[in-house]
Amino acid sequence: MWMTVEVNGHIYEREVAEHWTLLRFLREDLELTGTKDGCSAGECGACTVMLNGEAVNACMVLAVEADGATVATIEAEAVDGELSEIQAAFARNYAVQCGYCTGGMVMSVRELLRRNPKPTIDEIKEGIEGNLCRCTGYQQIIEAVLDVSGQLTTETKGELRYV
């Protein structure tokens, strides 16, 4: 089916197979491979992108469903080589280990901060519960979110428990 979709500010008109997921379209057709394919079943969140401004699992959307939609992927975060605020906070707080979950994490954090600019630690955990980090570096990720939302103090840093 022919479809038109805006991805990271560019408009693409493409023919895409009905059974392709948005994830496969982004990775294989547009070659935007920052969006990762982890579980293909909506469990891991590595493929999280913004669809019409809301975070979704790209593996849980057919590409053709995005006909006429606006999509933003992790590739839209950095502008002219400058990291976004969220990305910079991740780097500053060592919130990246192997990096596989990071793209999806950043998108989920963007969604969280859009709804809730100063989330509590519990709200942060809830906001990223759909994103699995198998390096289990959640503490640093939570610190990065506290940091970017202006809430990281010497008291909270390194003191998070039961993450």
Q: Which residues bind other proteins (CB under 8 A)?
A: 1, 17-21, 24, 40-42, 45, 48, 54-57, 59-62, 64-65, 67, 108, 111-112, 125-127, 129-131
Return the SS3 of 91.
Answer: helix
Min CB(80)–other proteins separation in Å = 28
Q: Which residues of 97-109 are buried (b: 16+ CB within 10 A; e: fewer)?
A: eeebbbbbbbbbb
Min CB(142)–other proteins separation in Å = 13
Q: Which residues of 20-33 are buried (b: 16+ CB within 10 A; e: fewer)?
A: bbbbbbbbeebebe
Which residue lies nearer to other proteins by CB, 126 or 159?
A: 126
Which residue lies nearer to other proteins by CB, 91 or 118?
A: 118
Query: How many Å apart are CA 70 and CA 52, to the nearest integer?
Result: 5
Residue type (1 letter), 50 = M
Which residue lies nearer to other proteins by CB, 30 or 105?
A: 105
Query: How many Å apart are CA 7 and CA 24, to the nearest integer?
Result: 14
Min CB(20)–other proteins separation in Å = 7
Min CB(45)–other proteins separation in Å = 7
